[in-house]
Structure 1
Amino acid sequence: MTRTAIDPSVSVGQDTMSSVPALRTTDLIGRDAELEQLTAQLGIRTSGAGRGQGDLLDPTVRAMLVAGDAGVGKTRLLMALRDEALAADWQVVAGHCLDLADSSLPYLPFSEVLGRLMSDVPDVAARVLEQHPTLARLQPGRRIRSSETASGDQALDRGNVYDAFGDLLSAVAQQAPLLLVVEDTHWADESTRDMLSFLFSRPLPGVALVVSYRADDLHRRHPLRRQVAEWSRLRGVDRLQLEPLADDDVRRLVRALHPSTMSEAEYVSIVDRAEGNPFFIEELVGATWSGQVPGELADVLLVHLDRLDETTRRVVRLVSVAGRQVSHGLLSAVSDLDATELEAALRTAVEAHVLVASRGGTYAFRHALLGEAVYDDLLPGERVRLHADFVSALGEGRAVGTAAELAQHARRADDRPVAVHASIEAGEEALAVGGPSEAATHFLDALELIDTARTPFDDVDAHALTRRCAEALIAAGRVPKAVKVLRARLATLPADGAAIDRGQLLTALATALLLTDTADDPTEIAAEAIELLRGGPPKLLAQALFVRSRGLGSWRADEARALAVEALEIAERNDLTSLAVELHTTLAGLEADDSSSPGPGWRAAADRARRAGLIDAELRALYMLGRFHHDDGDLEAAVEVYGEVIERSEVGGLVWSPFPAESRLLLAVVLTHQGKLDEAWELLDVSGQNPPMVYEWLFFAHQMLITIGIRGESHAKALERLRDYWGTDGLTAISAGSAELMRAVAAGDGAGALAIYDDVVAAVVPLWHEWFQARLRLSTIAISAFAAAAARQSADERESAAVDVERLVADGGRVIDFYAPYDGSHGPEYRMWVARRAAEHLRWRWLAQVQPPTAEELVDAWRAAEETSLAYGSVPEVAQARVRLAGVLRATGDAAGARVVADRAREAAHAMHSTSLLAELTAQGSAPSPAAASAETAVLTPREAEILALVAEGRSNGEIGKQLFISTKTVSVHVSNILAKLDAASRTEAAAVARRRGLLDA
């Protein structure tokens, strides 16, 4: 927004803050509202007022107190305020207080101010010094050590100094308004504080005063605390408390500091640990993460402990060992202090703003990073001893705590038996309350302790624990990690090990592999498990039969049905209710024939699971029901059921388990087909939610399909980053590859499209199979790119391209042949792409003049493409088909028909903000019909008119949002609607159109 880096030449323009060190980023992020408040209240700039005003603009206050914790961004905000003042033709001068302990120089910031003014306005300063010789004693050069002894007539009279300095500021302000900034007054000496009291209480024409201080340094006995309260009561003095940055602003700052790719987990870690403090954010981003607080930041944080007595420091160290939060009872049980001493130390720590106390009787560090820094500063032996004290207190029942707390302390105290059993208990507790991710962490800790122990844990079944850990990982959406854990456990089994151990691990592995993209065959792994478990525990055998049945599915329906029935008989005979419900879900899909639909069966299975309280089985049944509606072309029903899956997963704490996570993606896909692109994009915006990596990039891939593929925006680097994940997730490769292909179509790059198509196929085939269904769509889009290029190619180039096009057509044909025997795969979306493939091929032959079709064949093919798109209900595909149909109709002489079709396509393109479709219409010579043109003078809503006026003033979305008290995302949606209604390509064009139509005068 404004520059904050220091330019040495700025002092020529009356900037005397150039002694402030340069900041790490030149952007002011998340402080628009605060800057607006300062400039408006001080009269530097008011809403609607122009820049370059030479006079003070009727301020509501003449002095501001700016408070905030260390590192929260006070200096950065004041630098931006300086820029605003300079832009309004103000003068700016600043003084700084320094931490010189008890030997501060009196009036130190005002000496700095005087020195600056003598340099920048020497005539004015000399005139005032002549009138007030006493002021000369504050000159910086007169304050160094000398052998002279101050005589009585040299002593400063406070009254004279106050008057002299006030006259100096007034004289300077006669030239232009003056902004006086005094920073870090928490370090101010008594004389400086008294001078400020004088300036606060005495208005000086043309002078605005801003004083900053650290709020966290103002403990109860701090001398500035009382004076701040007094200053705040004075007329014309206001106070601005600078709060931590909001999470969205933290992310913006992280992106500004670290433009390269960062995972959502890394974002969440920084947001959580930095607590909105810009200095903390900069240090965490800038440091190479090692698990500890960066050294420079730790040094700054630990300064808070220097003013505490030794007893209080001991208690603070104890709190750091306890973790994020600790109860008074647990502290009392662990501390060797008596009740009075402990309470006194805690009170001191709270008053010093090191700890905060809650009404629930717990204590925590005011800044979590301070707690980390204190803990990192402990000696290794000291940590082990203190953790052992906590283990003793919790284990003996002298204090109340959780299994997770006991596990943490036991692990860090190297008490392995206690740590293993407490970790397992904590994992089960986490699963019981819907915390699969936390449960998996506890189980993994227990497994690591077991595997690295010198003596075996005979009372713990490591194989069953591994299977339980895998279940928790899958529930948390971390399927690849579950596969890795299971494979590692299988590798430890001896060749002559128990069949039951190997069988249950193979069943768990096959279950996990069914939920991820892999080159392995989970059905073969399940078959091996079945053979190992014949004659074993019924539950384990039934589970293996169930997993193989799921893997075979409709591809080998008869065999799958037989396995499921066998497993169901075992489950019902042994009262395995949960497994029986899961098997009913599987059979619901297998028992349907040509005359019946699996939909009712899946709904019945979901209801049965809900009544039994089996959330996993319910989610799977609902997911299958949603897929059925989706594949059947009933998009409204699919939206409803996918939404139900997501809602129910939130109740069970399984938001990122595979079925709800994939339902979120598929819901976004359906919304995209319905033309609700903003809703789809926002649904997949998982900022702050810390999803598993695979879903983070999968969701981002579909967002880029919307942004780049459909809307035609340019974010090339985003697609490059996504390529790293093509080889591990087929859907990511298909979504991101589709976006790249659509961009190649818009650019008319057939060769580039073919290379992209080959790359996607190379990535997906090892994970799925050679003729996966989406290959039909991908090859069709690639053919479209060749058609777009044909008009600009020579005859030789077209002849060369014919080989590639025929290969793509053949690939699509093989997909059609592969799925021909499976009637269930011939849904409306499939039929849409079959029709589009034929139409795109004819279009290429027509444009390339290679065995060109007749006009009637071409029109019929694109009519069929339009009809099948309409039957499926895909708004983007209907619009695309109509754009191509309009071009064909115009070329074949049906201008009137072309205009009607083009107007419909244009309407959809505007609604979706698709610049690529609009550009294609323009390129083929399409223009709105008179009726459509008049309709485009749509009336703006009151909110849109209000936002348009601010856009015309050059305001950013963030500034508009803060002024109107709405989110930046909401502003972005309104701006997009305004651009569409005005048929404008940019904000600047929208403002010009609005002025031309008189919309800004209304």
Structure 2
Amino acid sequence: MRHPHGTLVGRAAELDELTRAVGLAEEATGSRAPAGSAVLVAGDAGVGKTRVLDELSRRCAAAGWTTVTGHCVDLGDSAVPYLAISEVLGRLSAARPVEVEALVADHPALARLAARPSDGPALDRAELVHAVHALLEALGATQPLLLVLEDAHWADASTRELVGVLLSRGFSTAVSVVVSYRSDDLHRRHPLRPHAAAWARTPGVRRLTVEPMADAEVRELVRSLHPEPLPHAAVETIVRRAEGNAFFVEELVGAARSAATATDGLPEDLADLLLVRLESLGETARRVVRVAAVAGQEVSHELLAATTALAAADLEDALREIVERHVLVPTEHGYAFRHALLGEAVYDDLLPGERVRLHTTYAEVLQAGTVSGSAAQLALHARAAQDPVTAVRASVRAGRDALAVGGPEEAARHFETALELAADPRVQAELDDLDRSDIGGAAAKALVSAGQVGRGRQLLEDELARGAELSDVELADLLATLSYVHGMADAGDPLAPIEEALGLLERAGSTDEVRRARYLARYAKALLVHDRETEAGAAAAEALELAAAHDLHSLVADVRVTLARIDTGDDSSDAIERLEAAVEHAQRSGGLNAGLRARYVLGFFHYRRHDLESARAVWREVMTIADRRGQPWTPYAFEARLMSALSAYQQGAWDDADALLDTTTRRPPEELVGTLRAQRLAVVAARGGPDGIATVRELQAGWEADGLRVLTVAAAGIDLYGDAGDLAAAIDLHERAVSTVARLWHPLFQAQVRLGALLVGQLATAVERGGTTAEQRAQLVARAEGLVARAEEIVRGRAAADDPLGAEGQAWVMRLHAEVDRLRWRADLDPPPAEELVERWRACVAGFEAHPHVFERARSQARLAAVLQATGVTDEAAGVLASARQAAVRLGAAVLLAELDRLGARPPAETGRPTVLTPREREILALVAQGHSNGQIGRQLFISTKTVSVHVSNVLAKLGAASRTEAAAIARRRGLL
């Protein structure tokens, strides 16, 4: 904490660590020039983070650095995207105007961010991130730059994402980024919590926790703040009550001074303490403080003047008194409370009527336009002023503003606020010109764009429940949007609501061709879900004609994608050209969803043709474009992520799949986390992750509504349970998964062939291990025969529907038959001839080559090799085993390696046993090879030294090394580094 004469009390260790972290210490000694760095500063509210960062900024400025601070502000539900970044841009423009002006000219996104327009095209998020990064990088090249972002716990979603990108990219020039946040605010559901955890794990990012002050430091701070000696008992009371929190210390000491009483006589509650502090101010000053508290953490001089209505001289006198008493501090744009908790306490102390009156004044000033302010600010004040009509209109504008700068989450909150307020019939009566169904549709679409499809669906269902209040056209619009939500993420049947919407439109006698065009486009897509391609083509053709007639370019592009999808159903040679043409048209139209959908469908077509590399390339474009537009979790981008991860898994690029499915570096909406974790289980099961079974059990909670999650959890779970020897659990999981998906989708859904093949494989392996009775083996064979019968029924049904299984489906059918024969062979129950068994497995290996699947091909090879060994074809068996082992080692598939070991397929003695290291073990091994100690590794990876020690011991054991040096040598020899 700062001494009145400028000396910081305590915090020497934190400051030393910070100066080293940002490169200031090295620059001062001349050992090196400062390089790009990043530090996270965490601590409880009031513990002293801001004071430490102020001192760091002062030291950097004294050393010739450019220092700039941006503040995240608590606007509640009225978050303004990139507010802190806008502040930084303004401060940099003032500090280095010539350079910044040139860089803004090169990066127009910076100019739009500074202007914050409410209309015009939405900011391209990738362009904005690139522009901010380029700005900082360029400024750091000519003069060291310290960027401090304070109070990230109040950051909006867009700012959190931007900070994450800046930290992960880093800087090649002398740019140091310090981000602070309240650790005690990060409750389990706080939006910053997963981001902070991910930031802390980013390579090169350090984390500093500002702990409570020691008692001795508190006493020193008391003495510095209260030069006149306080009684010992009073000092000790402050030490006890402050609990090391510097802000509490300052307020307790300040209250003791202003009240001229012993601290024992003060209320223990901090709010009461702040009231004592305010009593030392004059009446006019107290009034100004109360008005400032209603504005929030910071208020401009102009807005404060307008809301207090004081004469200029009176306001200046009051502000001088307030600043001298350390209640408010001057800022570049006005005044801010010296500590956020102080402003909150003052606000909470206002009388209810007083609070409403002041919010009313703010709303009137902002509405009059005499002082600049955002629609979000107006919405906040109007709502608190009990003016719901103004709040609704402002919230709708704030929602549009948020969408304009790529903030769908913020937009959704504003729209939902408007709907909540407009639900009051008295409010509705004054909003005749406001289309509630339009707001509901906008809110639902914003939620979908933010990846919160379930919440969007619930919102629409709530709006539809108003039924009698809606006109036919309003009801139709909501139903059409519901169809859109259902179709975007397999959230329900999209056909019924759009059919009802078209019927309502006809009943209403509507001649609105634009609305009909949009409905027909949605109708065509819904028909495709039910494989009614002829009807879909007719609806799409009419929609295209109407859309073209009314110059609805984005809709034209979307309908062209639908028509291209219908045309590519036969896998004809010119299908790719038609889809690429649809992509190009969608790109020209500028419609985000049309463009994402066109690319997603193109990627899926490549996947269906087994060109996984091309599919992944297209899906990467989908994710990149969605990310640029601030919608990384919109359904097409999310589905592209899932399919890209699946393709990477099948190709054997498991680290790529892991990165795509990681839920820690970029936290997705909660409703998507389970699906991502479920798909990641495939890698966990193959690599033998220790927490796999626990994750399977956890993900079964609430899986009844998500068929995809059921399938992915069951596929991995069957292997995990089977490999652990719990055959009963594997069988139970299979049965529950099949019955659940059959209810959700169709009794003869194709994926149950794969689940059946995996289960029979585990049955055969269980018999192979021994310990089963003749009766048990007969029961297992009977179960397998039932699965084969169901698979054959599925194949016949698909053939009858002129929709035969593709190469992947055929591969799993072959695998099922091969596993059943292996089971019979191991159980010695009507075993097939050896030649037939060999051919079964050869066909299975070929099947997973036709639709490339590296792991399943290698697993099939292992079982083919077992049969070849048993039939005496040892030369071929050796070659097959070598191929399977090579794949298993590269993948780190520990379970498959164990199976190969049982076949006697160990590597040559001079090479040693193939080493299967987890990703964390590889990371630690690399640091061991660089000579780092366990403590150094722990600090770099943000794990305990004890955990590092355990990992190092495991690595030494796996490598057969007696020392860290030997482990590093073996790792280099085996190509593990």
- Please confirm whether the aligned pair reaches a TM-score higher than 0.5, indicating the same fold: yes
Q: Which amino acid in structure 1 is aligned with residue 729 of structure 2?
A: G
Q: Secondary structure at the match of 1:310?
A: coil
Q: Which residue of 1 aligns with 2:827?
A: 848
Q: Which residue of 1 aligns with 2:67?
A: none
Note the C-alpha offset of 1:562. 1.1
Match of 1:947 among 922, 927, 950: 927
Q: Which amino acid in structure 2 is aligned with residue 486 of structure 1?
A: L
Q: Which residue of 2 aligns with 1:564?
A: 540
In 2 relative to 1, CA 470–927 (structure 1 residues): closer, same or farther, beyond 3 Å? same
Match of 2:697 among 720, 724, 731: 720
CA contact (8 A) 1:708 1:714 kept: no
CA contact (8 A) 2:486 2:494 kept: yes
User: Any residues of structure 2 matched to 1:476-625 within 5 Å, and which?
Assistant: 476-494=450-468, 498-518=471-491, 521-534=493-506, 535-536=509-510, 537-553=512-528, 555-592=531-568, 593=570, 595-625=572-602
CA distance in 2, matches of 1:745, 1:907: 24
Match of 2:281 among 310, 316, 338: 310
Q: Which amino acid in structure 2 is aligned with residue 864 of structure 1?
A: A
CA deviation map 1:715-771 (0-9, x unaligned): 433222211231222222222222211202312433322211122223323332222
CA contact (8 A) 2:554 2:590 kept: no
Return 5+ residue gaps in structure 1 as ranges: 1-29, 39-66, 76-215, 217-242, 281-297, 963-967
Q: In the alignment, is residue 756 of structure 1 matched against residue 730 of structure 2?
A: no
User: Any residues of structure 2 matched to 1:322-471 within 5 Å, and which?
Assistant: 322-323=295-296, 325-336=298-309, 359=332, 361=333, 371-372=343-344, 374-455=346-427, 456=429, 457-471=431-445
Return 5+ residue gaps in structure 2 as ranges: 1-12, 22-40, 50-149, 151-176, 201-206, 213-267, 973-977
Q: In the alignment, is residue 959 of structure 1 matched against residue 930 of structure 2?
A: no
In 2 relative to 1, CA 577–452 (structure 1 residues): closer, same or farther, beyond 3 Å? same
CA deviation map 1:512-556 (0-9, x unaligned): 1122445x5321222222222234221222222222211221712
- Report which stretch shifted further, 922-931 or 790-799: 922-931
CA contact (8 A) 1:638 1:667 kept: yes
CA contact (8 A) 1:741 1:753 kept: yes
CA contact (8 A) 2:42 2:210 kept: no
In 2 relative to 1, CA 608–418 (structure 1 residues): closer, same or farther, beyond 3 Å? same
Q: Secondary structure at the match of 1:766?
A: helix
Q: Secondary structure at the match of 1:851?
A: coil
CA deviation map 1:406-450 (0-9, x unaligned): 111101111111111111111222222222222221111111111
CA deviation map 1:63-109 (0-9, x unaligned): xxxx997679899xxxxxxxxxxxxxxxxxxxxxxxxxxxxxxxxxx
Q: Secondary structure at the match of 2:468?
A: coil
In 2 relative to 1, CA 623–454 (structure 1 residues): closer, same or farther, beyond 3 Å? same
CA distance in 1, matches of 2:719, 2:411: 42
Task: Quote the sequence identity (%).
Answer: 36
Note the C-alpha offset of 1:899. 3.3
CA deviation map 1:433-477 (0-9, x unaligned): 222222221111111111124252222122222222222222222
In 2 relative to 1, CA 350–748 (structure 1 residues): closer, same or farther, beyond 3 Å? farther
CA distance in 2, matches of 1:843, 1:375: 74
CA contact (8 A) 2:707 2:741 kept: yes
Q: Which residue of 1 aligns with 2:879?
A: 900
Return the TM-score normalized by structure 2.
0.67
CA distance in 2, matches of 1:660, 1:698: 14
- Report which stretch shifted further, 268-277 or 925-934: 268-277
CA deviation map 1:563-605 (0-9, x unaligned): 1112212222333322222111100011234534533222222
CA distance in 1, matches of 2:417, 2:655: 42
CA contact (8 A) 2:907 2:913 kept: no
User: Any residues of structure 2 matched to 1:211-230 within 5 Å, and which?
Assistant: none
Note the C-alpha offset of 1:855. 2.0
Q: Which residue of 1 aligns with 2:808?
A: 829
CA distance in 1, matches of 2:776, 2:936: 47
CA distance in 2, matches of 1:332, 1:766: 65
Q: Secondary structure at the match of 1:790?
A: helix
In 2 relative to 1, CA 320–453 (structure 1 residues): closer, same or farther, beyond 3 Å? farther
CA distance in 2, matches of 1:959, 1:771: 53
CA contact (8 A) 2:326 2:338 kept: yes
Note the C-alpha offset of 1:827. 3.5
CA contact (8 A) 2:956 2:964 kept: no
Q: Which amino acid in structure 2 is aligned with residue 992 of structure 1?
A: A
User: Any residues of structure 2 matched to 1:55-74 within 5 Å, and which?
Assistant: none
CA distance in 2, matches of 1:479, 1:631: 27
Match of 2:759 among 782, 785, 805: 782
CA distance in 1, matches of 2:625, 2:387: 40
The structure showing larger relative contact order (alpha-carbon pairs under 8 Å, at least 6 residues apart) is 2
CA contact (8 A) 2:795 2:805 kept: no
Note the C-alpha offset of 1:401. 0.6
Q: In the alignment, is residue 640 of structure 1 matched against residue 566 of structure 2?
A: no
Note the C-alpha offset of 1:840. 1.6
CA distance in 1, matches of 2:380, 2:474: 29
In 2 relative to 1, CA 529–354 (structure 1 residues): closer, same or farther, beyond 3 Å? same
CA contact (8 A) 1:711 1:913 kept: no
CA contact (8 A) 1:749 1:786 kept: no
User: Any residues of structure 2 matched to 1:223-238 within 5 Å, and which?
Assistant: none
CA contact (8 A) 1:712 1:915 kept: no
Return the TM-score normalized by structure 1.
0.66
**Matched residue pairs, number?**
738
CA deviation map 1:186-229 (0-9, x unaligned): xxxxxxxxxxxxxxxxxxxxxxxxxxxxxx9xxxxxxxxxxxxx
Q: Which residue of 2 aligns with 1:134?
A: none
CA deviation map 1:794-852 (0-9, x unaligned): 11111122232222222333333333356776443223322222222222121222221
Q: Which residue of 1 aligns with 2:9?
A: none
CA contact (8 A) 1:510 1:523 kept: yes
Q: In the alignment, is residue 839 of structure 1 matched against residue 818 of structure 2?
A: yes
The structure whose Rg is larger is 1
Q: Which amino acid in structure 1 is aligned with residue 676 of structure 2?
A: F
CA distance in 1, matches of 2:657, 2:306: 53
CA distance in 2, matches of 1:863, 1:263: 51
User: Any residues of structure 2 matched to 1:199-214 within 5 Å, and which?
Assistant: none
CA contact (8 A) 1:391 1:409 kept: yes
